Homo-oligomer: A and B are copies of this chain.
């Protein structure tokens, strides 16, 4: 396979996910991933630092999308609404990935080290979301509070959606979780 194999990154991601689901993340080597994708290990390392990073390669783009959607929300939108719009948009993007997003989630939940990496990723998203809110003129601690709780909402909604995907789509599930957060914070 040549250096510029078309769609190499996507094929590596697909092969890695297949193997992680089939035989477990721990038991899969970079060599196996490359072989399954019909590529070389060298090509793998052109795209990913290690086998873990295959699962997190889309995270940066999704975070930037969250941030730009938050920044682009109508000026009149209160903090949680600005973030809600961003979460729904990110949810719609994830929904398009369909089964890949669900299978990725299953792989991560099966491995403590990956769960830790996922936690760190979400914390970094929360920090950047808080930053976006501050740019919108929201002061701390409100900005941090809105960002951190909305990431909690996102995590809960995503897990809910993965478990019962037929009931609602992901953006609807996110909106329902935000509504539920309002209910439980009011009803006390």
Binding site for B on A (CB under 8 A): 77-81, 84, 115-116, 119-120, 123, 141-142, 144-146, 148-149, 151-153, 155-157, 159-160, 177-178, 180-182, 184-188
Contacts and interface: CB of A to CB of B under 8 A. Distances in A.
B182 A186 contact: yes
A48 to B, nearest CB: 21
A115 B152 CA distance: 18
Nearest to A157: B141
Contacts of A160: 141
Contacts of A145: 152-153, 156, 177, 180-181, 184
Nearest to A115: B123
A182 to B, nearest CB: 4
Contact of A84 (B123, B148, B186, B188): B188
A142 B180 contact: yes
Contacts of A185: 80, 149, 178, 181-182, 185-186
